[in-house]
Amino acid sequence: MLTALLVAGVTAAGAQALKNGQTLVNKPAPEFARKALDGRTVDLKNYRGKIVLLDFWATWCSPCMVEMPTFARWQQQYGPQGLTVIGVSMDDDEATARKAINKLKPGYAIVMGDAKLGTLYGGVMGLPLIYLIDADGVVRGRFQGETDPKAIEAAFERLLKRR
């Protein structure tokens, strides 16, 4: 597999990050605390008891920008049932992320990501990258690249029912 990834232009470090990201499934989600763009603190451990859709995105990622209104709708629709969406902007510039957020008004917390946070989550080698974290803080799903929203919705609906 590593050879195939290298031929496809993925470095050895990138291949390891992809493997690490996959190994997070069914393991405790890496903890982090960050200041959201709206000023509140987002501490992942405070979301125990909720299902968390953790979305790594960037303004230059077209599929990411297309998904955000869907995630905003889900936050509104499923929030009362226990879903929380947290966006992690992987943009280099906070002002760029703020501009997009001011335009889209997603209605959920957005924090700025960086290499350290990306590494905690197995390396963010491609966007969008979504993790579903259950009520006990365990990663139960990982979706990378353009993914059918119905597949993501079905996955978190199953988690909501088990809560």
Q: For 65-122, what is each residue's pLDDT tens digit?
A: 999 999 999 999 999 999 999 999 999 999 999 999 999 999 999 999 999 999 999 9
Whole-model pTM: value is 0.87
Q: Compute CA distances 42 → 36, 47, 136, 144, whole Å.
A: 6, 9, 17, 23
Q: Are 20 and 142 in contact (CB under 8 A)?
A: no
**pLDDT tens digits for 5-46?**
333 333 444 444 444 556 899 999 999 999 999 999 999 999
Whether a cis peptide bond, with omega within 30° of 0, leads into 30 is no
Going along the chain from its start, the domains and CATH numbers come out as: 29-162 (3.40.30.10)
